[in-house]
Amino acid sequence: MKKIVINGGNRLNGSVCISGAKNAAVAIIPAIILSDGVCRVENIPDIMDVNLMLDILEKMGAKVNRINRSTVEIDPGNISSSYANYDEIRAMRASCYLLGALLGKFSEAESALPGGCNFGVRPIDQHLKGFGVLGAENSVANGMIKLKSNGLQGGHVYLDVVSVGATINIMLAAVKTPGRTVIENAAKEPHVVDLANFLNSMGADIRGAGTDVIKINGVSHLSGTNYTIIPDQIEAGTYMAAAAATNGDVTITNVITKHLESITAKLREMGITVEEYEDCIRVHNKGRLHKCNVKTMPHPGFPTDMQPQIAVLLSVADGTSMITEAVWDNRFRYVDELKRMGANISVSGKMAVIEGVDNLKGAPVKATDLRAGAAMIVAGLAAQGTTCIEDIRHIERGYENVVGKFSSLGADIKIVQTDEPTSAN
Ligand code: EPZ
């Protein structure tokens, strides 16, 4: 089994370059199924979820040509089946986007039920509601979802909850569907906007992405395109948190500072200096962090995917802080791991109360999911002593070259191979 081993206490210094956005890449790659030409996509992150998605498209018949680590050319011309049943689909949440893309291309689709990080129930009722508005009937059996229709027609969808996945999936199903589709109460995350921009670069007619009302006029043809994916907002936020946690001084390059505004505001509230430039951001601080309260919200609120990382900072801030997780039912599974390192946190439902301690102590911990794993790295960097993180496959799903990037900032961090078996979960 592989572990990440960190000897904490080094102040991070220097600069780190952010990779392409995972949650944009895992939406844009399946969107290529809808293209009538070859698509070249740049700035894709070299991470497990992206590589799994590329494997799925290849198994469906697409020609996938990796030009280099961050550039791929995909010709979807040979994709002729609306049926997708591969092991990779059960490994991640984003594979549900295959449903929207296949439905948009073939007016029907059948795919395995998706997997993904375990924060409690992760329903897809809003996705299915949107597909129903377009005219697709759904049925679920034997771990597969089947969508059937006699041809799709644009319609008006009002999402009951702000859902990134449902917004993206309905966009994929509607982009070539005759007529006008309106998605109300839509998600406004940067990766939703990036997908809309990608589709529009192919000739789609999508307006309002980034607002809560997205209007789509179906088109009959989507040409190939050359597109560059936006930088990863959450990867950038993770390095911001790590710089602050180690009282370091780090410049994070290849960012869109507007996407980081809620994270920047919260770090400043904690007494951290954040300097914003054209396409980079500098984070540094001296002395103890101040307590504050955090409530996660859909964009432009504080991102839920930064919740575990900010909890690490609040664990060593002065005073009592509170985190309210307003997006997911159970996104505090990492707290037990953080408590092994000396954090003083009590969780009740969607709220965590954090009493700041002077410092964390290194310990053996697990990565319970992708962002929790990233938070364990931040904690290990700040802690006194050695931290060993198990189940790092979760981290490798979403962070490109995470050990190399942190090492370049002066962290004492490495991956070690042990002959212990990988834990079950
Ligand atoms: C996306 O997940 C991200 N994943 C998640 O990031 C992120 O935490 C989440 O959006 C919120 O920003 C990808 O983009 C691949 P949702 P998604 O649909 O689309 C409820 C990471 O770390 N809901 O916006 O699955 C749902 O239960 C990952 O990169 C329904 O009730 O999230 C949740 O409470 C982890 N019915 C809320 O909406 C539905 O049909 C938001 O979920 C769909 C969602």
One domain, residues 156 and 33? yes
Ligand 1 centroid to Cα of residue 94, in Å, is 10
Which residues 6+ apart lie within 8 Å of 361 measured at CB? 341, 342, 383, 384, 385
Ligand 1 in contact with 129 (CB < 6 A)?
no
Single out the residue in 228, 253, 279 at which a domain terminates.
Answer: 228
One domain, residues 143 and 247? no
Burial class (CB in 10 A: 0-12, 13-18, 19+), 103: buried
Instruction: Kindly report the protein residue whose alpha carbon is nearest to atom 10 of ligand 1.
Output: 164
The continuous run of DSSP H or E covering 242 comes out as helix 233-245
One domain, residues 14 and 60? no
Neighbours of 285 (CB within 10 A): 20
One domain, residues 258 and 189? no
One domain, residues 140 and 215? yes
From residue 326, give the alpha-carbon distance in Å to each of 211, 238, 296: 20, 20, 5
Ligand 1 in contact with 266 (CB < 6 A)?
no
* Of 67, 30, 29, 22, the residue nearest 47 (C-alpha): 22
d(CA 379, CA 383): 6
Helix axes 22-31, 190-201, angle to 10 degrees: 30
Q: How many domains, in total, are found in the chain?
A: 2
Ligand 1 centroid to Cα of residue 110, in Å, is 21
Ligand 1 centroid to Cα of residue 76, in Å, is 27
| Test site for ligand 1: of 124, 140, 161, most ligand atoms within 8 A of the Cβ | 161
Question: What pLDDT, on the 0 to 100 scale, is given for residue 92?
Answer: 87
One domain, residues 236 and 373? yes
> What is the Cα 121 distance to its own chain's centre?
17
> Is 17 annotated in the active site?
no
Ligand 1 in contact with 328 (CB < 6 A)?
yes
Index of the ligand 1 atom closest to the CA of residue 125:
40
> What is the Cα 172 distance to its own chain's centre?
18
Single out the residue in 228, 263, 284 at which a domain terminates.
Answer: 228
Which residues 6+ apart lie within 8 Å of 424 measured at CB? none
Question: What pLDDT, on the 0 to 100 scale, is given for residue 88?
Answer: 85
For residue 367, give both structure tokens.
């990565």
Instruction: Collapse the DSSP code of 159 into the 3-class scheme (helix H, G, I; strand E, B; otherwise coil) and give the result.
Output: coil
Condensed to tens digits (0 to 9), the pLDDT of residues 201-213 reads 999 999 999 999 9
Print burial letters for 134-169: b (CB count within 10 Å at least 16), e (below 16).
bbbebeeeeeebbbebeebbbbebebeebbbbbbbb
Helix axes 22-31, 48-59, angle to 10 degrees: 10
In this structure, are strands 2-7 and 205-207 parallel, antiparallel, or unpaired?
Answer: unpaired
Domain that holds residue 202: 22-228
Q: What is the CATH number of the domain that holds 220?
A: 3.65.10.10
d(CA 373, CA 364): 12
* Of 79, 78, 60, 74, the residue nearest 28 (C-alpha): 74
One domain, residues 217 and 340? no
Question: What pLDDT, on the 0 to 100 scale, is given for residue 86?
Answer: 87
One domain, residues 187 and 53? yes
For residue 181, give both structure tokens.
């589709």
Indicate the residue type of 102: L
Instruction: Collapse the DSSP code of 143 into the 3-class scheme (helix H, G, I; strand E, B; otherwise coil) and give the result.
Output: coil
Is 422 within the bounds of a domain? no
One domain, residues 163 and 298? no
Is 423 within the bounds of a domain? no
* Of 145, 102, 219, 129, the residue nearest 183 (C-alpha): 129
Index of the ligand 1 atom closest to the CA of residue 298:
12
Helix axes 97-106, 125-133, angle to 10 degrees: 10
Please name every residue paired with 348 in a beta bridge, in sequence order, or none if there are none.
351
Average pLDDT, rounded, for the chain: 96
One domain, residues 195 and 344? no
Is 356 within the bounds of a domain? yes
One domain, residues 175 and 49? yes
For residue 26, give both structure tokens.
């895992």
Under-70 pLDDT residues of the chain: 119-121, 420-425
Is 102 within the bounds of a domain? yes
Instruction: Collapse the DSSP code of 266 into the 3-class scheme (helix H, G, I; strand E, B; otherwise coil) and give the result.
Output: helix
d(CA 218, CA 375): 42
d(CA 121, CA 46): 28
Neighbours of 343 (CB within 10 A): 24
One domain, residues 316 and 256? yes
For residue 211, give both structure tokens.
């607002």
